[in-house]
Amino acid sequence: MRTALYARVSTSGHGQTVEPQLLELREYCARRGWQIVGEYLDEGISGAKDSRPQLDRMMKDAIRRKLDAVIVWKFDRFARSVSHLLRALETFNALGIAFVSLSEQIDTTTPMGKMIFTVLGAVAELERSLIAERVRAGLRNARAKGKRLGRPRVAVDTARIAALRSQGLSWPAIARQMGLSVGTVYQAACNSS
């Protein structure tokens, strides 16, 4: 199994190093007979940041299907927020990439690990549903208060569109001249005829 190791420490140069994490991760791979194809190491970078140079590189390699598994020493080395962790796990699941967290003993290549992943996926789905419901409730509340939602309406001079069109101008040329999108120009012309 082509495996990526991800390790992170928040501060570098103060005695903190990723080596203890890497030692355990390498031993785990050796016991499982997994091939390490990359070590992605973010040193001196906070876990609160969703975007980190080596994490981003690893995710790109995952999307390019260069990995079969990702192993971390502990969840908090990988992601500090539950939402970031769940998004990453969903990406791995969609790509068929196994995920292992040594300290929490979660390994999605095992039946127990798959069950835990399913529970985490259900939590993520619940979170998305709750967010969607809050958004819908906010929109209903705004409408009830008489607020206009969406982009502001654009005043369109349909007579000018018709005049430019009769001169033989294309829809994109008319849109450029009027500072509007081609769709807006075309729809205004269709609605006026």
Residues serving a catalytic function are 10
Q: What tokens were used for 30? A: 């050796």
Q: What SS3 string covers the chain? A: CEEEEEEEECCCCCCCCCHHHHHHHHHHHHHHCCEEEEEEEEECCCCCCCCCHHHHHHHHHHHCCCCCEEEECCHHHHCCCHHHHHHHHHHHHHHCCEEEECCCCEECCCHHHHHHHHHHHHHHHHHHHHHHHHHHHHHHHHHHCCCCCCCCCCCCCHHHHHHHHHCCCCHHHHHHHHCCCHHHHHHHHHHHC
User: Strand 2-9 relative to strand 98-101: parallel, antiparallel, unpaired?
Assistant: unpaired
